[in-house]
Structure 1
Amino acid sequence: MFTLVALVVWLVCFAISCLAFVFWIWMLIDCLKYESSTGNDKIIWALVIVLLNGIGALVYYFVRRPERIKQFGQ
């Protein structure tokens, strides 16, 4: 019984980790592809995403991405 519970917990943690990694890659690609090249915005946001990992991706998703979409339509 204990091994079944441990396996389920491991599978759930593995699935969450995979989803977090895919989200991180998605935000990094979104930043590098759609962020404007004027100034240092693209470089700074890419560094924030890479160095802060999941937290940086979340910050980019909730702070910068909606602003950029509203401003540039992308």
Structure 2
Amino acid sequence: MNTLLFLNIGASELLIVALLPLILMIFCLVDVLRSDFKDRSIKPLWCLVIILAPFFGSLIYLLAVRNQKIQYHR
């Protein structure tokens, strides 16, 4: 049987739900590592938050990081 009985979801839905936090975490970690921040100690702190709480840490990063990055104007 390909369905989890207690959740009533199939394997493909379970795979999507399991991969979404991983993809979001990788995206946020790459963004942190490529960005310049106003305070140098922020970068390792954000990496730690994203690694320890992959889904919620990534969401918090995406919502809170705008004011902490250095904006370069072209």
| Cα distance in 2 between the residues matched to 1:48 and 1:19 | 17
Summarize the Cα distance change of 1:63–1:39 in structure 2 as closer, same or farther, 3 Å threshold: same
Q: Give the SS at the match of 1:67.
A: coil
- Counterparts of 1:35-46 in structure 2, within 5 Å, are 35-36=36-37, 38-46=39-47
One-letter code aligned to 1:14? L
1:51 aligned onto 2:52: yes
Match status 1:10 vs 2:5 = no
Calculate percent identity across the aligned residue pairs: 22
Match in the other structure for 1:72: 71
**Deviation per residue, 1:6-46 (Å, 9 max, x gap):** 17522101112212211110001101111427430101111
Provide TM-score, normalisation by structure 1: 0.72
Q: Which runs of 5+ in 1 are unaligned?
A: none
Q: More helix by proportion, 1 or 2?
A: 1
Q: Output the amino acid matched with 1:62.
A: L
TM-score (norm 2): 0.72
By relative contact order (CA 8 Å, sep 6+), the higher-ranking structure is 2
Q: What are structure 2's unaligned runs of at least 5 residues?
A: none
Match of 1:19 in 2: 20
Over the aligned positions, Cα root-mean-square deviation in angstroms equals 2.4
Number of equivalent positions: 68
